[in-house]
Structure 1
Amino acid sequence: MSSPEWQKASHSDETGGHCVEVAQLPDTRLVRDSKAPEDGHLTLTPATFNRLLTTLKQLP
């Protein structure tokens, strides 16, 4: 298996805050802290990832 292609989330900024990266694989979505990629990642199903995004968008 090749290494996942990580993309910084659109709401991440260059000042060190909100540093989230996402990798999209056929059956999973990976989420990690771009400041500490060696700490691992979350592995989510596409449905769970979509629910996470929906919930986060509802926060103030």
Structure 2
Amino acid sequence: MTAKRVLGGLLAGLLLGAGLGLGQEGAILPPPEAEVAMLEDAFAQLTGFFREFILEIKGSLT
């Protein structure tokens, strides 16, 4: 059982490592300003979602 897990872990690690090596060749990153703006927008959406979720849960409990 443990030998299968170890071999499975090694195989998964090799596949992930090979995938990371191949994926970095053609990666085109956006400018830092655009990336920061996208992250800020995603964070604002996430906080809005949780704000609405908490308000809905509070409303259903009272």
Instruction: Please confirm whether the aligned pair reaches a TM-score higher than 0.5, indicating the same fold.
Output: no
Higher helix share: 2
Higher strand share: 1
Structure 1 or 2, whichever has the larger Rg, is: 2
Query: Taking CA–CA contacts closer than 8 Å with sequence separation of 6 or more, which of the two structures ends up with the larger relative contact order?
Result: 1
If the length of structure 2 is used for normalisation, what is the TM-score?
0.29
If the length of structure 1 is used for normalisation, what is the TM-score?
0.30
